[in-house]
Structure 1
Amino acid sequence: MFFFPLPPPKERRRLREDNALTQAHIAEQLGVPRKTVRGWETGRTTPGGQTGEAYARLLASLNVRRLTRTQGRTRAETLTPAQAFDALYAFCAPALVRQTYLLTGRRELARESVERAFQVAWQRWPEVARDRDPAGWVRATAYDWALSPWHRFRPRYRHPEPPPAAASDRSLLDVLLALPPSYRRTLVLYDGVGLDLPETAAEAEASTPATAHRLLHAREAVAARLPELSDPALLHRRLAELASAERLRAAPPPAVRTHGEGRARFWTRAAIAFTVALIGTTALALKTAPTHYEPPVAPGQAVRGVPPKVALGALSEEELELRDKLREEMAGGPERVLPLPR
């Protein structure tokens, strides 16, 4: 019999999630596989012996932490939004950058994706602060930005980055990047982050059967090229080692907040300028537009019955005589102004 009683399976999972822990964290502390912890939380199995006692003590400590947070909630509510945001950033950003590196294989893109996700979170902080899982909200946003297909058209991302130093890390990263983006995301969430299948399906915006299908095919692809990683527990450890091998650092929280606020101000001003330009264009169009209907001018038509133009030719004798006469009589005198009667 346990010194600390075991809570129901759903309460075990709730205690872990309330303390921002994954199944991999619990398994590492107890020295058991992650699938064992998953079985305890679903109720399929029940821990026993010394492992069960250690698990019960761990859950009891997590419950104490939750009660402490509940009692101090009034004091926590005095935190400013910036302080709450900085706490979330300090807790999630370092690990999230390493996870995003597994998705993209690019260090700069991993940092940019995480910073962009937190900038969006800061712009929508009231919504994120009330979310059941703020860390998951930011993680989903960072993954979406990192896996966007538009990055391939950016000049800075057209050339590959230097690969990891270790040959084993290079092989594993090549296998990951060869997977389709949806399979890669599922593998990182399930075997890397430690989410269960329903949570992975919800974050990947797919059904549970489709997520299971992606996970199986991703594992098969990894095992086909790296047979030593056919064990999920070993694959989880190698993913953690690959992510931790790179020196990936996130920007300080104030810099992320400042940059996000500057970006928000820029787009707000751009939207105002566009609206003003649209209003001015509409007013000009209304001012210069005709107030009544003017029928269009009909296209020209050929006029019939007019003799064609004749080219000038030699003068006849009568025309020559008339010309000479006009020249003689109108050379000078008042006849040029007022002809005299004959």
Structure 2
Amino acid sequence: MTQSPAAPKRSTTLTQGGQGGPPPLPPPKERRRLRAAKSLSQAEIAVKMGVSRETVRSWESGRSTPRGRRRAAYAELLAEIANDLSLAGKRSTRRNSWTDDLPPALDTKGGKSPARIPVGAAMNSPARPGRVRPGRVRPGHAATATAVTPHPGSEREPSGPATAPSPTPTPTPTPAEAFDALCSTCAPGLVRQTYLLTGRRTLAQESVERAFQLAWQRWPEVAVDRDPESWVRAAAYEYAMSPWHRLRPTLRHPDAPPAAPADRAFLKVLMSLPPAQRRTLLLYDGVGLDLPETAAETEASTPATANRLMNARDVIAEKLPEQAPTPEALHQRLGELCGAEKLRPPNPGRVRTGSERRARFWTRAAIAFTALIVGATALTLRTAPTHYEPPRSPGKAISGVPPRMGPASLTIEDQLLHKKLREDMSSGPEKLTPLAR
């Protein structure tokens, strides 16, 4: 990483002011909160400190702690940020960077060019501490994490004279307030990401709304998650990429393409990619996740994720040779494409109402189905026989046994003789002794 010319001078000044023992540092969550509240990226902090972005990320996650001159410089930098925020009254407010940056960029009717869309506002996810390149400012992560998962141990380490006094503790937000903060912060960017994944505006809005409904139904699980926005993003992507959508009559025809010819060509190439490659490209070059995080979210191995990314870039370079498939160029191009579309994010109150109504419907359906099964079982037990009756087998002829014989039928001579005897018979001795003729 290129070191800023002012970094050595600042490091020397901070070292001279930090003699006499290691200066205290705030907790890792407070470091990340101060950086995000100042709208600084990890890459910008790394440039000021003269270290890599991974080192700054380790400092903010608590895996490592700076020492020596870097510790003094880092402590003084955080103290200056804390002083600025306390004087301006920004430590107790949570700003939504999307509402501040996106409307001018999305106002294409007013003469704004899509190329002037801020990359960090149009594409970056505001609550994901992922891979950020220089020039990508991703504010809002700390505000979302604080609103969603307030940690009980809010006490800070004792700081020196340069640390600003701690403000009055704010009351813990309710689950509805925390969910509304998460939805208001993450929904606008997530709708645009889903649009790039599907190419359909209505499906993108529906997918994000269903994902937040599912998050509200499982809010105890989502609230304690390390990255709630990643949880919602995975749910929205899974719903948007479901193959059952092709059977819906409203989604059989494609949406209207973008107005700009360049955007139309780029979106066509993007939709021609397989869904797995498209999702990998969006997460890595669009959202800004690193390779292991992209592999974990797509449930694939790191080599497979790298191959998908390389194949997607090769296809874009082959079909659009005028656009260089570099990470910065792809990120800028994706930001311009999604920023040119006016997509409506879901309303938090409507999402919670719809989620509760949906949960009540399926609960009642499950209760009715269970009652139906219980009734059918009771009826079967009532009408079923109490003992076993073996069925009677049908009779059949047995070979080798002579048929049953009876008196033979009379011939014609026998019938005539029988008739004659009945007519000529008398009651005299002739009956006993026949007469000779």
Q: TM-score, normalised by structure 1?
A: 0.74
In the alignment, is residue 281 of structure 1 matched against residue 376 of structure 2? yes
Distance 1:302 1:167, change over 3 A: same
1:191 paired residue among 277, 285, 300: 285
Counterpart residue type for residue 301 of structure 2 = S
Distance 1:136 1:173, change over 3 A: same
Counterpart residue type for residue 132 of structure 1 = R
Note the residue ranges of structure 2 that are not aligned, 5 or more in a row: 1-8, 16-25, 59-72, 93-145, 147-153, 155-165, 406-411, 419-437
Q: Distance in 2 between matches of 1:73 and 1:305?
A: 113
Distance 1:58 1:102, change over 3 A: farther
Distance 1:86 1:220, change over 3 A: same
**Alpha-carbon shift at residue 132 of structure 1 (Å):** 1.0
What are the residue-to-residue correspondences of 1:48-67 with 2, within 5 Å? Answer: 61=81
CA contact (8 A) 1:89 1:118 kept: yes
In the alignment, is residue 238 of structure 1 matched against residue 333 of structure 2? yes
Q: Distance in 2 between matches of 1:194 and 1:16?
A: 21
Q: Distance in 1 between matches of 2:350 and 2:279?
A: 28
The aligned residue for residue 2 of structure 1 is: 10
Identity of aligned residues (%): 55
Q: Distance in 1 between matches of 2:382 and 2:287?
A: 62
What are the residue-to-residue correspondences of 1:283-322 with 2, within 5 Å? Answer: 283-302=378-397
**Aligned with 1:229: secondary structure?**
coil
In the alignment, is residue 146 of structure 1 matched against residue 240 of structure 2? yes
CA contact (8 A) 2:200 2:255 kept: yes
**Aligned with 2:170: secondary structure?**
helix
**Aligned with 2:378: secondary structure?**
helix
Q: Distance in 1 between matches of 2:359 and 2:254?
A: 31
Distance 1:141 1:59, change over 3 A: farther
Whichever structure has more helix as a proportion of its residues is: 1
In the alignment, is residue 262 of structure 1 matched against residue 335 of structure 2? no
Note the residue ranges of structure 1 that are not aligned, 5 or more in a row: 44-52, 309-315, 323-342
Of 217-226 and 236-245, the range deviating more from structure 2 = 217-226
Give a deviation string over 1:4-30, Cα, whole Å, max 9, x none. 969xxxx9x977865796xx9738979
Give a deviation string over 1:26-83, Cα, whole Å, max 9, x none. 38979x9xxx97566579xxxxxxxxx99x9589638979987646795241x22111
Q: Distance in 1 between matches of 2:82 and 2:279?
A: 29
Distance 1:265 1:76, change over 3 A: same
CA contact (8 A) 2:43 2:52 kept: no
Distance 1:88 1:194, change over 3 A: same
Distance 1:60 1:83, change over 3 A: same
Of 205-214 and 236-245, the range deviating more from structure 2 = 205-214
The aligned residue for residue 173 of structure 1 is: 267
Aligned positions, number: 301
Counterpart residue type for residue 201 of structure 1 = A
The aligned residue for residue 26 of structure 1 is: 41
Give a deviation string over 1:281-335, Cα, whole Å, max 9, x none. 1111111111111112213424887789xxxxxxx79989x9xxxxxxxxxxxxx
**Aligned with 2:211: secondary structure?**
helix
Q: TM-score, normalised by structure 2?
A: 0.59
CA contact (8 A) 1:16 1:62 kept: no
**Alpha-carbon shift at residue 275 of structure 1 (Å):** 0.6
1:210 paired residue among 304, 308, 317: 304
The aligned residue for residue 106 of structure 1 is: 200
The aligned residue for residue 366 of structure 2 is: 271
Distance 1:81 1:274, change over 3 A: same
Over aligned residue pairs, what C-alpha RMSD do you find? Answer: 4.1
**Aligned with 1:132: secondary structure?**
coil
Q: Distance in 2 between matches of 1:305 and 1:19?
A: 110
Distance 1:307 1:165, change over 3 A: farther
